[in-house]
Structure 1
Amino acid sequence: MGKRRRVAEQRRTNPAVLGGVIAVVAVGGAGFGAYALWGGGPAPDDGKGTQSAPRHHDTVKTGPLTAAEVRTTAERFLTAWQQGRPAEAAAATNDSAAATALLTGYTQDAHLEQVTLTAGTGTGTGTGTGGKVPFSVRATVAYKGLTKPLAYDSALTVVRRATDGKPVVDWHASVVHPDLKDGDTLVTGASGTPPVKALDRDGDELTTADYPSLGTVLDGLREKYGKTAGGKAGVELRVIRGKASQKAELSDKTLVELSKGTPGTVRTTLSPTLQAVAEKQVAKRQRASVVVVRPSTGEILAVANTDHGFNTAFQGSLAPGSTMKVITSSLLIDKHLASADKQHPCPKTFTYGGWKFHNDDDFEIKNGTFKASFARSCNTAFISQAPKLENADLTRQAQQVFGLSMNNWAIGVPSFDGAVPVQSAAQMAASLIGQGGVRMNPLNMASVAATVKAGSFHQPYLVSPKTDGRTLATASRTLSASTLSQLRELMKFTADYGTAAEAMSGLGPDYGAKTGSAEVDSQKKPNGWFTAYRGDLAAAGVVQRGGHGGDTAGPIVATLLKTGS
């Protein structure tokens, strides 16, 4: 009896507060743990998990949240979630329907038990309209006799509800798990898609332990080839993507593997040497991405991103800045509006469509050649030709010569093949220098450099089309010998004497490059771009918010070209 009495007394004791962190401690076996956050006490509601609308004489509270409001709201939400009361937890959010569905699925579909939540100290309280509370999750995935632990960190943000001013959790699926996007779900069961063992071009296995950037690539390979590569499905806890994520071409993601499936095998074109160097290079900068391709074939030899959660290198949609001038130059030369060694205007400014376009620091080149304007990246040299172009000219050039902006690339994993929409007036002019509505990623711009080097477009690919018989995208025409020769001359001169010279130093003579800086609203620094080729290698990179491309993306690309394959 004495022992039983001590256990009962322990269960009635409020949890301790240690170092500003208060734990919601689970007890017992299956199911959810016992109540208490921040020292216990009742949740600030009517006990039924509901919040009534304000009466006509109530005052809607506004202004910054207090620390107490943030604390008690987070307490109410986390306690109800842990104790297995999804409707009550959802009532503490600003989207009870979505929250109820996902929190109910947390136990019923994801089969998560013995949940323990540990809340950290909130931030931002009292200084703004929201307060962020980090918390950690410990749970057990239990499915048909199989169990494995799950541990991760997440966070919630408390805001004032617009209708009544009450503090509520600002609902997003990422509150439940950071890998979830709104509309995604967590499911445990037979995966349906067998795992794959991805191999590099030499036949060795590619893993995220060796190449951290490849997580999204490996997910994409599994989704594309898992059912046809000869493997057998295992039992897993997975993120299943919803409509919005599918539209963004995000792949399902495995979080916990309860029983191993038998993997099939998929061989890629990746070079282990170049991939290793690419990983190291992007790790040196924040928000960097790079791709290396082989111009003669289109094989993708390396892909890396600083951010491992989204494959910007393949799926990014960013203004490419002055790297777009490679395509624009080919158009102007084709139309006899420019020639490498002929005089070409580069005024300080040029106005078109009501917009006044500037060069960097308002420089001008007097009596200079088009080659000089390209090498120094003179914006007005290109904008000044806008009155002589039709709205669809740049779009047609990108599609017909460079194979871009037709939404038909099939590289083996999800990718975005660029956008060069037909535009008019000032937006059309801005497109000529890679702004306006033009959107690209490093894969696209590496392909542009590769097309110049090879003389014709070869759709990049990560998995050989012989693997599954898919059809690769093609371009409908190639550049004339004269245009191609001049385009190579422009890029070589830029690598020798222009904005790319410092990064490309020592890599000549069979090389060419173009830098770019893309202005983005609300960013203090532009996105830095760089695309180049050397021998039978072409590469492109971007460093978001990095500044000038020659200083930021340039060294990344140049190092990979120097490494060779």
Structure 2
Amino acid sequence: MSQYGHINRRRGARRGRGVVAAVAGAGALAVAGSYAAGLGPFARADGAHGPDPAAVAQARAFLADWAAGRVPAASARTTSPDRARQVLDNFTAGLDIERPRLTARAATRTGDDAVTVPFTARMPISGLGTWTYASKLPLSRQQDGDWKVDWRLSLVHPRLSETEKFHLAREESSAPDVTDRTGRALSGDAFPSLAPVLGQLGGAGSGPRGAVQLVDRTTGEVERTEAAFGKKPAAGAGEPVATTLDATWQSAAERAVAEGADGRNASLVALRIDDGEILALANAPSSGFNRAVSGTYAPGSTWKIVTSAALLLKDAVAPGDVVDCPKYLTVGKEFHNVETSEHRGATFLKDFTESCNTAFISLRGKLADSETGDVARTYFGVGQEWHVGIPTYDGSVPVPRDETEKAASMIGQGRIQANPLIMASVTATAVSGTFHQPTITGRTEDATSTKPLPQKVVGQLREMLRATVTDGTARVLADLPGDIGAKTGTAEVSDAPEGADNNGWLVAHRGNVAVACVVEEGVTGGGSAGPILHSLLAAVPGDPS
């Protein structure tokens, strides 16, 4: 039993399930990328009037190590490495936390040699949901001048102490019978990526339930419930649940991801363009965290679909306008293109098809600081609350905090967060003009409010996506039949281990289907996600019924 968090499995719970270790990659702090490593765009050049940048960097590095499962490295950044390692290991494993998401907030100078960095913790509990809370990292300058995280239990969670700890109480009931859109039975054995999903379906009313509880260390008495997950069985629970999934698409997606991931974490979502119905979702590995709909990734250059929409909406640029694409562009930091390519005298269409970062960044003055986020929310539904039928992360597009972060946000970096579900929906909206809230049951509440894109903008986006397949970075799909449009993406992950590769993205549409795929450390979208989507679209050449 862990000292800082443990699992109490009630009668009826699954047994023999191993603790899933926190994984690296997307768990690292995904902040500004596509520029040279260093203090980052948010650190001050001098610490005279605010927190020492070295303290802020140490705090961010600690959070990144903890999030990525590098507990020894995180612990070494504290004033009590052995104690920190024991507590962090026990807390994460004892509560079945799969992949923490830790986001640093604005630091405060609390003394000549003291800094406090608040952070938000999002802790995915295996098979249940995400526990979200706020805490603070105290840092102090050591005698040698280095900054360390001032270790104390309360930094892990404000209520963790020498007298109170957490435990996880589970109560799971059997998953309901689930069918696809044609009535075909779906099971976790036949479709491994669906195993974590079937019991979560909103209409089932019989999925896994549990709670994170604060208990007295001595007596074990429950003092309060910190987070509760799942619902009590509703009337009619146990009856078959019909979904929008398509067994043919799901099978092809599972196979494409399993064969194409090549040992890396990867995920994929396919949905119908005309109504947002999810046809397939697949993850590698297939068990545990459902990164396809709940992951939080920088979308990289696939986000240029939204950036382009924002520019086209206000006639700030047209596809035929010349927008130079140099190798480098400095905006606080040096930005560059993949493989430092350049396209002098390129049109905006060429910049899109070749995914030119510097050209897009050069257009940042055409948009107000909040404009890309406003367009994402108003036309694409990103950041609004979605009711999909299973737990999802619905995206975030914060207003940039400075000019460097604004430059990064133009190319899907900075603090923009998305996942394959969001980017498949973005693609569907771009080519149809209308946002449809994604759904996996077809009967979920829709509380979103969006506007349709003008048909002129839709036509321009479709032209640009098609040209990316025929003449640009998505040529990997060019040999497939059908009028396919696509956009590749490469997303850097700040604070990842030295030598870690970028995440690879690819989104595409064909007929009435939009798809999105991300491969962690895939280097490029065309080279990693490209073969996966090629395999999927080749295996299922027609539209679903």
- TM-score for both structures, normalised by structure 2: 0.67
SS in 1 for 2:301: helix
Shift of 1:201: 0.5
Deviation string for 1:508-552 (max 9, x for gaps)? 3x2210000001122521100000101111100000111100111
Aligned to 1:541: 517
Alignment equivalent of 1:422, drawn from 393, 399, 403 = 399
1:393–1:150 Cα change, 3 Å: closer
1:526–1:171 Cα change, 3 Å: same
- Whether 1:505 and 2:479 are equivalent positions in the alignment is yes
In the alignment, is the contact (CA less than 8 A) between 2:431 and 2:459 conserved in 1?
Answer: no
Aligned to 1:552: 528
Distance 2:346 2:359 in 1: 10
Distance 1:155 1:199 in 2: 28
Aligned to 1:203: 183
Q: Which amino acid aligns with 1:198?
A: V
Q: Which amino acid aligns with 1:511?
A: I
Aligned length: 403
Distance 1:442 1:525 in 2: 19
1:151–1:417 Cα change, 3 Å: closer
Distance 2:478 2:291 in 1: 24
Distance 1:355 1:149 in 2: 50
Deviation string for 1:424-458 (max 9, x for gaps)? 31111111100001111000110111112222111
Deviation string for 1:144-172 (max 9, x for gaps)? xxxx9944556999999976968968423
Bigger-Rg structure (1/2):
1
1:336–1:171 Cα change, 3 Å: same
- Whether 1:348 and 2:327 are equivalent positions in the alignment is yes
Shift of 1:194: 7.2
Distance 1:187 1:332 in 2: 49
Q: Which amino acid aligns with 2:168?
A: T
Shift of 1:175: 4.7
In the alignment, is the contact (CA less than 8 A) between 2:269 and 2:517 conserved in 1?
Answer: yes
Q: Which amino acid aligns with 2:486?
A: A
Aligned to 1:172: 91
**Mind listing any 5+ residue stretches in structure 2 that lack a counterpart?**
22-70, 99-124, 132-165, 215-224
Aligned to 1:488: 462
- Whether 1:214 and 2:194 are equivalent positions in the alignment is yes
Deviation string for 1:388-416 (max 9, x for gaps)? 3210110111011111112x111111111
SS in 2 for 1:532: strand
Aligned to 2:448: 473
- Whether 1:240 and 2:218 are equivalent positions in the alignment is no
In the alignment, is the contact (CA less than 8 A) between 2:311 and 2:366 conserved in 1?
Answer: no
In the alignment, is the contact (CA less than 8 A) between 1:458 and 1:474 conserved in 2?
Answer: no
Query: Matches of residues 116-131 of structure 1 in structure 2 within 5 Å?
Result: none
Q: Which amino acid aligns with 1:495?
A: V
- Whether 1:328 and 2:300 are equivalent positions in the alignment is no
Distance 1:295 1:381 in 2: 30
Deviation string for 1:287-342 (max 9, x for gaps)? 11000011011111000101320111111110000000011111112222221122
Aligned to 2:59: none
Distance 1:363 1:267 in 2: 49
Distance 2:20 2:182 in 1: 42
Alignment equivalent of 1:377, drawn from 330, 350, 355 = 355
SS in 1 for 2:250: helix
Distance 2:187 2:411 in 1: 39
Distance 2:322 2:228 in 1: 46
1:329–1:153 Cα change, 3 Å: closer
Q: Which amino acid aligns with 2:212?
A: G
- TM-score for both structures, normalised by structure 1: 0.65
Q: Which amino acid aligns with 2:472?
A: G
Distance 2:299 2:472 in 1: 18
Aligned to 1:442: 420
**Mind listing any 5+ residue stretches in structure 1 that lack a counterpart?**
1-80, 82-89, 91-95, 112-140, 142-147, 228-232, 254-260
In the alignment, is the contact (CA less than 8 A) between 1:332 and 1:338 conserved in 2?
Answer: yes
Distance 1:322 1:442 in 2: 13
SS in 2 for 1:387: helix
Q: Which amino acid aligns with 1:171?
A: N
- Whether 1:516 and 2:489 are equivalent positions in the alignment is yes
In the alignment, is the contact (CA less than 8 A) between 1:216 and 1:251 conserved in 2?
Answer: no
In the alignment, is the contact (CA less than 8 A) between 1:503 and 1:550 conserved in 2?
Answer: no
In the alignment, is the contact (CA less than 8 A) between 1:451 and 1:457 conserved in 2?
Answer: yes
Shift of 1:225: 2.5
Distance 2:354 2:383 in 1: 27
Q: Which amino acid aligns with 1:345?
A: D
1:358–1:263 Cα change, 3 Å: same
Deviation string for 1:49-69 (max 9, x for gaps)? xxxxxxxxxxxxxxxxxxxxx
Shift of 1:459: 1.3
Shift of 1:559: 2.8
Distance 1:155 1:297 in 2: 35
Aligned to 1:185: 168
In the alignment, is the contact (CA less than 8 A) between 1:401 and 1:457 conserved in 2?
Answer: yes
Shift of 1:482: 2.0
In the alignment, is the contact (CA less than 8 A) between 1:173 and 1:184 conserved in 2?
Answer: no
SS in 1 for 2:477: helix
Query: Matches of residues 241-390 of structure 1 in structure 2 within 5 Å?
Result: 241-242=211-212, 263-284=238-259, 285=261, 286-307=264-285, 308-352=287-331, 354-390=332-368
Distance 1:427 1:379 in 2: 14
> Once the two structures are aligned, what percentage of the paired residues are identical?
36
Q: Deviation above 3 Å: which 4+ runs of structure 1?
A: 148-170, 175-184, 246-253
1:533–1:262 Cα change, 3 Å: closer
Shift of 1:366: 1.5
In the alignment, is the contact (CA less than 8 A) between 1:373 and 1:381 conserved in 2?
Answer: yes
1:315–1:252 Cα change, 3 Å: farther
In the alignment, is the contact (CA less than 8 A) between 2:324 and 2:359 conserved in 1?
Answer: yes
Distance 1:485 1:164 in 2: 57
